[in-house]
């Protein structure tokens, strides 16, 4: 067994090597990693009243989502499709936090009637949500409606949320007053993934709440943007300043700021996606053939950059090379994807033992925005396996042409 990098437990590596190569490439949901990541996240914020609402858009593989649900996580969704996933997985709709601008009257009503939380992304969105509340009967319960606010940072401002200006906030408050509905949640989300950015934005959020929403007793939703535990090679390529941070620093910062603003008893909602999913899913594929060039070898695989997040990605993903044979061929090679696109080079210019036909290639830490971005390009969606620390079991089969044709209405 040779490795360009060593990321996997010995048990999982052995299980992968033991599987036949007849099922094509597949994702592995690593529940050992998921448990570790969730435990670290919970411990980081243990001194506060925090509810985790996992971000489905990051990765909605069923086994991963159900594991998080079993551990007490809520579901953060941003579309009617994702609400459909919640329902089809058997998760209570009342545990939904519904964000984003892509809402329909039916999806809003479904979440509100079930006791879930719907956060308005704009004043237009808020008017629609509250008007739907007004048309429905809520006996012995108050519908949970919140607002997402955007802090004005000029060109660096988020494109989501209601600009937190005095005029807009007065308008939002007047709408809630008109429909006699309390504000259940004030939501902020910041795309910047750094501890300094987190501290700055939370301070701004708390200042807005204290100055413009005096006496507010609902939930404060601080969104996502938290760091994850991923391999050194990958973190250095993406952003070393962010990824080298530990989640505990975010917990200490939030605890300190909550105390400073007298919000320690507040109920917070956090929406981690990448922080939980990134290193909990691996991609496994096989070497199909070798194609020699003058100075290097092209190693053709049944993998593709489309399975790791998209053809346009420039990240050179670390990988593990698993084999039962010993190769004396030490040379330069590249790992090539199966598509007809020239830029589908999964890993350029590698040095070492050249993989041989039907060896296995494992890309760890691909749980963030990979499975959800998969297109049916040249081939269908791939299988999913689940590793629980002891056994590797198949969870879903690959997508077929018949599956796609079944969607036809003609």
Write down all domains in the chain, each with its CATH number in brackets: 10-29+279-400 (2.40.37.10), 31-278 (3.20.20.10)
pLDDT reading at 259 higher than 60: yes
Lowest-pLDDT choice from 3-12, 152-161, 179-188, 391-400: 3-12
> What pLDDT score does 349 carry?
84
SS3 16: helix
> What pLDDT score does 72 carry?
98
On average, the pLDDT of the chain sits at 90
Taking a C-beta distance cutoff of 8 angstroms, is the pair 284, 387 a contact? no
Lowest-pLDDT choice from 101-110, 308-317, 363-372: 308-317
Instruction: Report the percentage of the chain scoring pLDDT > 90.
Output: 72
Taking a C-beta distance cutoff of 8 angstroms, is the pair 337, 345 a contact? yes
Query: Cα–Cα distance between 90 and 85 in angstroms, integer?
Result: 9
Reported pTM: 0.93
Query: Cα–Cα distance between 94 and 144 in angstroms, integer?
Result: 10
Q: What is the pLDDT of residues 227-250, one digit of tens each?
A: 887 666 666 776 666 555 789 999
109's CB contacts (< 8 A; 6+ apart) are: 132, 136
| Residue 155 confidence class, pLDDT cut points 50, 70, 90 | low
| Averaged pLDDT, 155-166 | 83
Element (DSSP H or E) covering residue 111: helix 105-114
> What pLDDT score does 191 carry?
66
Q: What angle, 0 to 180 degrees and rounded to 10, lies between the N-to-C axes of helices 247-260 and 31-44?
A: 30
Taking a C-beta distance cutoff of 8 angstroms, is the pair 346, 303 a contact? yes
pLDDT reading at 369 higher than 80: yes
> What pLDDT score does 192 carry?
67
Nearest-5° Cα angle at 78, 231 to 98 = 115
Q: What is the pLDDT of residues 44-80, one digit of tens each?
A: 999 999 999 999 999 999 999 999 999 999 999 999 9
> What pLDDT score does 142 carry?
86
Phi-psi region of 303 (alpha: psi -120 to 50; beta: other; left: phi over 0): beta
> What pLDDT score does 246 carry?
85
> What pLDDT score does 1 carry?
38
pLDDT reading at 4 higher than 90: no
Per-residue DSSP letter, 141: S
**Helix intervals (H) in 19-95:** 31-44, 62-70, 80-88
pLDDT reading at 157 higher than 90: no
pLDDT reading at 207 higher than 70: yes
Phi-psi region of 195 (alpha: psi -120 to 50; beta: other; left: phi over 0): alpha
Taking a C-beta distance cutoff of 8 angstroms, is the pair 97, 53 a contact? yes
Taking a C-beta distance cutoff of 8 angstroms, is the pair 41, 272 a contact? yes
Q: How many CB atoms lie within 10 A of CB 108?
A: 24
| Residue 376 confidence class, pLDDT cut points 50, 70, 90 | confident
> What pLDDT score does 2 carry?
41
Instruction: Report the percentage of the chain scoring pLDDT > 70.
Output: 91
Q: What is the pLDDT of residues 85-118, one digit of tens each?
A: 999 999 999 999 999 999 999 999 999 999 999 9
Query: Cα–Cα distance between 359 and 332 in angstroms, integer?
Result: 17
């Amino acid at each position: 067994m040779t490795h360009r990098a060593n990321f996997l437990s010995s048990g999982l590596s052995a299980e992968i090597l033991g599987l036949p190569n007849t099922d094509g490439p597949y994702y592995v949901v690593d529940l050992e990693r998921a448990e570790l990541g969730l435990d670290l996240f919970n411990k980081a914020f243990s001194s506060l009243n925090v509810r985790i609402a996992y971000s489905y858009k990051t990765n909605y593989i069923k086994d991963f989502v159900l594991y998080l649900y079993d551990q007490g996580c809520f579901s953060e969704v941003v579309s009617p499709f994702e609400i459909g996933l919640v329902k089809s997985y058997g998760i209570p709709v009342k545990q939904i936090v519904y964000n984003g601008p892509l809402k329909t009257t039916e999806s809003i009503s479904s979440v509100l009637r079930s006791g879930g939380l719907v956060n308005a992304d704009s004043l237009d969105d808020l008017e629609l949500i509250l008007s739907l509340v007004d048309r429905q009967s809520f006996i012995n319960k108050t519908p949970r409606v919140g607002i997402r606010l955007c802090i004005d940072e000029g060109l660096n401002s988020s494109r989501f949320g209601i600009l937190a200006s005095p005029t807009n906030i007065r308008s939002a408050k007047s709408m809630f007053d008109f429909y006699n509905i309390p504000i259940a949640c004030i939501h902020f989300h910041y795309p910047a993934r750094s501890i300094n950015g987190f501290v700055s934005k939370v301070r701004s959020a708390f200042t807005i709440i204290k100055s413009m929403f005096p006496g507010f007793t609902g939930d404060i939703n601080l969104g996502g943007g938290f760091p994850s535990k991923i391999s050194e090679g990958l973190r250095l390529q993406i952003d070393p300043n962010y990824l080298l941070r530990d989640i505990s620093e975010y917990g200490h910062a939030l605890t300190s700021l909550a105390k400073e603003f007298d919000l320690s008893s507040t109920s917070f909602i956090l929406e981690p996606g990448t922080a939980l999913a990134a290193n909990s899913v691996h991609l496994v594929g096989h070497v199909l053939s070798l194609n020699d060039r003058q100075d290097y070898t092209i190693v053709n695989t049944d993998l593709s950059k489309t399975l790791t997040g998209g053809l346009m990605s420039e990240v050179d993903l670390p990988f593990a090379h698993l084999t039962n044979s010993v190769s004396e061929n030490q040379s330069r090679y590249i790992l090539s994807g199966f598509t007809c696109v020239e830029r589908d080079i999964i890993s350029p210019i590698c040095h070492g033992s050249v993989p041989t036909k039907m060896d296995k290639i494992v890309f760890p830490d691909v749980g963030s925005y990979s499975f959800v971005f998969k297109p049916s390009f040249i081939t269908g969606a791939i299988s999913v396996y689940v590793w629980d620390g002891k056994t590797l079991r198949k969870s879903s089969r690959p997508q077929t042409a018949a599956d796609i044709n079944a969607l036809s209405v003609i």
